[in-house]
Amino acid sequence: MRLGLSLALFLAAAPCLAQPAAGVAHLSETTVAERPLSLSIWYPSEGEASETVGGNPVFEGVPAAPDARFPEGAFPLVVVSHGGLRSAADSGAWLSSAITRAGYVVVEVNAPRPENAAAALDEIWRRPQDIRRVIDLMLTDKAWGQRVDDRSISVAGFALGATAAFSVAGAELDVARYMGSCAADSEMENPDCGWYAKQGVDPSQTSQESLAQLVKDPRVKAVIGVNPEYLTALGAVPAEVSALRISLGDPDDASDNDQLAKDVVIPNASVFDAFAVCTDAGPDILQEEAGDPSLCGASSEARRAIQQKVSDALISFLAGVND
């Protein structure tokens, strides 16, 4: 992202902060030294917004009330893992905030971005580990352990984050199918094959030992995946876990699989609608930096409408799980 923009441009893109907003706190998980996790914890609050989360010159941030008073009681926990190997931190803030306003504690996981394609090969097994580490921390932390209901833990994810979420929920990965996903005769779409090829790496080089460590976390009671990657390499989610798949736009050929309990399709949408609403300057910045202006979608209004449908579907699903 361009760093030389004027302060005036950034402020013009920032949403109004003089309004009630979800509370937000930040925590670090450092048990794996080479992969520290930065966590944004959203929680119910009527505090006044005084900062934005997830904003930058291209994407709008979400109003938040940092360190607002936490209400009495323990709330269901939802862990959010955004997709994209090179996504910016807090890319899912729009969804985290929306879920929180429905009465949940939501933690968005921000892991270090892989520096190259070789490091990115590890993300398929590292991201599920990240989710488990976050659950461990939230349940054992002196303050947060008293604020979340350990009987109601859900995981939501976008793209690769959705794949990680399903993995944690118990959907087994067909390792051979995944490792051959960039082969010329592969029938499975891998969105990163071109990037891998340019740097001389291939999914077949992924550690089989690490992939073998992908196991179900019995604490997870529900899972939601938005446009999960490698879906045809994933097995069924166990019956004891409530599962929802949300497709932004036409679902792929895996839509006929009965591996998920429910399937919601948001028409006239694309995977890019999982990202925040763009600032007015966003498309021009992307164009200038040889990026893809289509990341911003047709319009801000259209993206907000799509994201409202995603939020409504996810919250309605969670409400049914927690009845």
Angle ∠(194,197,199) on CA atoms, nearest 5? 115
What pLDDT sits at residue 252?
A: 58
Reported in sequence order, the residue ranges of the chain that DSSP labels E, i.e. its strands, are 20-29, 37-48, 51-53, 62-66, 75-81, 105-110, 148-158, 222-226, 242-248, 262-266
What is the distance, to the nearest Å, from the Cα of residue 38 to the centroid of all Cα atoms in its chain?
14
Helix axes 93-101, 300-321, angle to 10 degrees: 50
pLDDT tens-digit series, residues 196-252? 999 999 999 999 999 999 999 999 999 999 999 998 899 999 999 999 999 999 775
Confidence class of residue 12 from pLDDT cuts 50, 70 and 90?
Answer: very low
For residues 122-147, average pLDDT:
97
User: 219: part of which helix (H) or strand (E)?
Assistant: none
Domain boundaries of the chain, sorted by first residue: 7-321
Residue pLDDT, tens place only, 251-293 = 754 444 455 557 899 999 999 999 999 999 999 999 888 778 8
CATH of segment(s) 7-321? 3.40.50.1820
Task: Give the span between the Cα atoms of 89 and 93, in whole angstroms.
Answer: 9
In 3D, which of 253, 264, 263, 259 has the Cα closest to residue 241? 259
pLDDT in tens, 73-124: 999 999 999 887 767 889 999 999 999 999 999 999 999 999 899 999 999 9
Least confident segment among 41-45, 61-65, 177-181, 187-191 = 187-191
| pTM of the entire predicted model | 0.91
